[in-house]
Structure 1
């Protein structure tokens, strides 16, 4: 169990570019001689990409909600006019 936690820590440091040069070199050597470690790294990279993509989708949804509120609710009419005045056609 402890070994897998150490591997996870080393893998995260390596993938995030936070590993020391020596640790990175040793980790790269392990990737060459341990195919299962290489597979784990690929899976971890995939998980990072999915997590990042999900975060972007959530942020986009939140921004859309704010936009919808600011530009449709009557109480924000003054703000809407101000923004359109700044960015509107001249």
Structure 2
């Protein structure tokens, strides 16, 4: 693998994976001694947060669309039911 991909895999392992206690301790030491690693890790955490928030916004948008569709469908059905009830009432009187 390319070094950049290796580094990304390393970051993801420690940020998203389940490192062993020894790996976690080594990670903490590396964060303290390697400012570039600490900066990369912080950037990656911010990226994960932004992706999570974008996903939440997308879900909210989709839920609003579903709600609006259901509301329109319910209104249409209510209008149709009102019209057919009125016709049934009129036809029943004859």
TM range, normalised to the smaller chain?
A: 0.7 to 0.9
Q: Which has the higher contact order (CA 8 A, sep 6+)?
A: 2
Please list every run of 5 or more consecutive structure 2 residues that lacks an aligned counterpart in the other structure: 79-94
Q: Is the 8 A contact 1:10 1:19 kept in 2?
A: no
TM-score calculated relative to the size of structure 1:
0.74
Please tell me whether Structure 1 or Structure 2 has the larger radius of gyration of its CA atoms.
Answer: 2
Partners of 2:37 and 2:15 in 1: CA distance: 13
What is the CA deviation profile of residues 36-69 of structure 1, one whole-angstrom value per residue up to 9, with x for unaligned ones? 1100111001100100000000000000000000
Does structure 1 residue 26 correspond to structure 2 residue 26?
yes
Number of equivalenced pairs? 78
- Considering only aligned residues, what root-mean-square deviation do their CA atoms show, in Å? 2.1
Q: Is the 8 A contact 1:31 1:38 kept in 2?
A: yes
TM-score calculated relative to the size of structure 2:
0.71
Please list every run of 5 or more consecutive structure 1 residues that lacks an aligned counterpart in the other structure: 79-90
